[in-house]
Amino acid sequence: MYQERKPNCAQLAQYVDCFWVSGGDAASGQGEALILPDAAMDLIFRYCDGQLFSSLCGTMSIARTVSLAHEDIYLGVRFHPAMAAIALKMNVASLRDCLVEAPFSDSYAVLEDQLATSPHTFDIFINWMEGYLRQRLCFDEVQRHRVQAMRAVAMIGVSRLAQMMEMSRKRFYREFIQFYGISPRQYTNTHRLLKFQKLIQGSKRTDLSQIALEAGFFDQADMTRQIKKLTGKTPLNLMSQLYNTG
């Protein structure tokens, strides 16, 4: 079971992409899930035997296969790219591909108590977490707009964007990694991977050369090379695993 919901609070929605829940099916036993890099960071909570275990997942540079105990419930807060760095006032450059202790982890006892007294786990999590995040996060709108502008690097490149933002290439590169946790090139290829995934989702398209161009890759060979670097799989193998197209 996997579900996502968007934040109800408009201000929070500028920083948080969604709340999500997975697991909770004891009959399914142990399972594995392929997690693709998406340039985002997540606060992750594992709810097991009435206890919450929390962590902050840094930006992923490559896909990961993770083992999940389906009797446990996994709850998450997924931030928009770079927004965790602003909202949590962190330099996330050193967190790439890391799981670290979640911020404010000493404050989750109230949520743990509420989860223990209600069967509506996801509703409780969202309602409590929205109020909690509004109190704890830093909402810096000037910084948010400035860092969001950096996302255009996937479309126009570092040199031109740095010039438009009146920054040197070196400063742009350094600040990009500080907020996004990955390099501009890694972000660009991740952005293209997500476009590829969106293009093939729910379809049986096999015109890989056209898909490559629509996703922003130079050509099919470039797409194959970059997707294999990010996921360890060819585009066709990834399509087969994600959507059973094989």
Burial 138-175 (b: 16+ CB within 10 A, else e): eeeeebbeebbebbebbeeebeebbeeeebeeeebbeb
The pLDDT confidence band at residue 208, using thresholds 50, 70 and 90, is very high
Query: What's the pLDDT score for residue 245?
Result: 55
Mean pLDDT of the chain: 92
- The tens digit of pLDDT for each residue in 15-45 reads 999 999 998 665 455 578 889 999 999 999 9
Q: Say what the pLDDT of residue 181 is.
A: 97
Average pLDDT over residues 129-152: 96
Q: Give the pLDDT of residue 70.
A: 72
What is the mean predicted confidence (pLDDT) over 73-89? 97
Residue 126: the pLDDT is 97
What average pLDDT does range 40-58 have in this prediction? 94
**pLDDT exceeds 70 at position 220:** yes
Q: Is 235 left (phi over 0), alpha (psi -120 to 50) or beta?
A: alpha
What is the pLDDT confidence band of residue 71, given thresholds at 50, 70 and 90? confident
Task: Tell me the mean pLDDT in the region 106-110.
Answer: 87
Which pLDDT does position 236 carry in this prediction?
A: 92
Say if residue 151's pLDDT is above 60: yes
**Mean pLDDT in residue range 55-83:** 92
pTM of structure = 0.92
In angstroms, the CA 67 to CA 43 distance is 18
Residue with tokens 């992923």: 60
Alpha helices in 16-108 (DSSP H): 83-87
